[in-house]
Amino acid sequence: MAFADLLDVVGGMGRFQFIQVSLLAVPILMMASHNLLQNFSAGIPTHHCRVAIARNGSHDTNTSLAHEDFVRATIPMDRNQRPEKCLQFTEPQWWLLIQNATADNVTAIAKQPCADGWDYDRSVFVSTIITEWDLVCDQRTMRQLAQSIFMAGVLAGAIVFGGLSDKFGRRPILIWSYFQMAASGTCAAYSPNFIAYCVFRFLTGMALSGIGLDTVSLIVEWIPTRVRTITGTLTGYFYTFGQIVLAGLAYGLPNWRHLQLTISVPFFFFFLYSWWIPESARWLVLAGKPEKAVKVLKRVATLNGKKEEGDKISVESLKIDLLKETAASTSSYSVIDLVRTRNIRRITICISFVWFSTSFAYYGLAMDLQNFGVSVYLIQVIFGAVDIPAKLMSTIAMSYIGRRITQAASLTLAGTAIIANIFIPYEFQTLRTSMAVMGKGCLASSFSCAFLFTSELYPTVIRQSGLGYASTMARVGGIVAPMVKITSEYVPFLPLVIYGGAALISGFAACFLPETLNEGLPDTIEEVENRRKKVKPETKDKAATTKEKALLQSPVSTTC
């Protein structure tokens, strides 16, 4: 008997699974808000140098002039006839206010950086970290730095929490991650300065990884194979709706501190109820803790109305039924096992391309909403809503066509849509936005497939390490993505070439991954290595002579 059989014995997809998936899925709504928060908390409003004529005593008699006149006399105009964002005249040019005066010689007038701060248009963004700490002009790179620090935290969390989850279990790391998210997110809302804000955002990013990795593992390891795809996709929809919820919260809470606090406090509630969520019985078996595994399985059986079947499970029967799994518990594993054997190494290399490029292109699009020429709130809703049909089609494709083709097709279509924008004139803004939305939808489909696909590719003994490594590659992509935009200063379309090209290359790499459709979860590295091996008829006859070999030929075994 394999673990999949035990799940059927204790109820399959029963009441416990529905409650557990629901409790794990709700926090994902707020995870989306934290992940894309800086589209709003670090929104850049229109701004120009602050007009401070009163500091120049010789012009006190002119204080009756309108504010627009002061701006015209003290701030040069850019090529679009709007006030320069970072420059002002060294002395007011009152002659510019004279009717019919021309500004032909303005370029020769002495200018200087803003001396008295900046005035911000607060019609869209009332309060952001940009307006509070004046992160504009010479300090404008601080905005990207804050986002990169957050993504670095997500990267650190993937490395740290991925390994810890395989060593200490999914449940304790998940509980801690909820608490860390609540505490660091709340502290970020009360940050006294930019440095403190970055520190707390780094810790928030770490917690985000811990929650994401352990949520996926706890769902996958408790869900029967036949409903794993639909369950994973429905859970992913919580992230989709979370993007739409973020737009509504940001619109209703234009002060960044209030927004930050609102999306952080709910994690205290998630932390409290997470103590009810049981540990993965599959992990407990492989960690050499069969007594705890039996206790958890009996609890699940009771919740699913299968108490009698649960009472029949004992430590002795569990060891006999899960002979391969308990044997695997005597071995120790590390991240080295991700590249030690041939098939696992191929999976790791291909998964690296998939996760890096998906995240790289995704954040290249999703964190640049202000450049689409429409309301940032509207484009956030559109970018969130496109995930609904994208993930639906991804689910159908994963269920009937397979994971590998779905993964490769999603990345290839995303890369094609992004590169297509190179050939669309800038004036066709609606068409350009539509192609970007299509590309983002395909990348969302790729993410949805990658989470499930990666969980199925790696065996239980190193599943968290594999997910942690994959998440690490994704975060590297998220960190690098903002830097690529700098290349547009040299070649305007170069970022699109890089984003789209990376997606196309990864689509090709995904073709080399093994298919996992309708396969049970592998528990050991040996099962993955033997996944494609053909068993000869005489070998089958021999295999029937012992209990262990018979397990390898079981119809529900995770071996192909």
Closest to 508 measured CA to CA, from 380, 353, 381, 342: 353
Closest to 383 measured CA to CA, from 346, 329, 437, 434: 437
Asked if the model's pLDDT at residue 140 lies above 70, the reply is yes
266: how many CB neighbours lie within 10 A of its CB? Answer: 18
Q: Which two tokens stand for residue 196?
A: 């403190």
Q: Which two tokens stand for residue 118?
A: 């900046």
Report d(CA 61, CA 8) in Å as an integer: 87
pLDDT in tens, 442-491: 998 898 888 888 988 888 778 878 877 887 888 888 888 877 877 776 78
**Whole-Å CA distances, 166 to 213, 214, 217, 218:** 11, 10, 10, 12
Determine contact, residues 283/3, Cβ cutoff 8 Å: no
DSSP, res 12 = S
Q: Write down the pLDDT at residue 321.
A: 60
Average pLDDT over residues 111-131: 83
Closest to 232 measured CA to CA, from 243, 247, 218, 216: 216
Domains of the chain: 1-36+126-329 (1.20.1250.20), 47-120 (no CATH), 338-528 (1.20.1250.20), 530-560 (no CATH)
Question: Where residue 57 falls among pLDDT bands split at 50, 70, 90?
Answer: very low
pLDDT in tens, 316-336: 776 666 655 555 555 566 678
Asked if the model's pLDDT at residue 535 lies above 90, the reply is no
Q: Write down the pLDDT at residue 186.
A: 95
Q: What is the pTM of this model?
A: 0.74
Determine contact, residues 226/212, Cβ cutoff 8 Å: no
Q: Which two tokens stand for residue 363?
A: 């954040």
Range of weakest confidence among 56-65, 86-95, 344-353, 462-471 = 56-65
Q: Write down the pLDDT at residue 543.
A: 38
Closest to 212 measured CA to CA, from 416, 30, 395, 8: 30
pLDDT in tens, 198-216: 999 999 999 998 898 888 8
Q: Which two tokens stand for residue 537?
A: 């008829």
Q: Write down the pLDDT at residue 328.
A: 55
Report d(CA 83, CA 69) in Å as an integer: 12
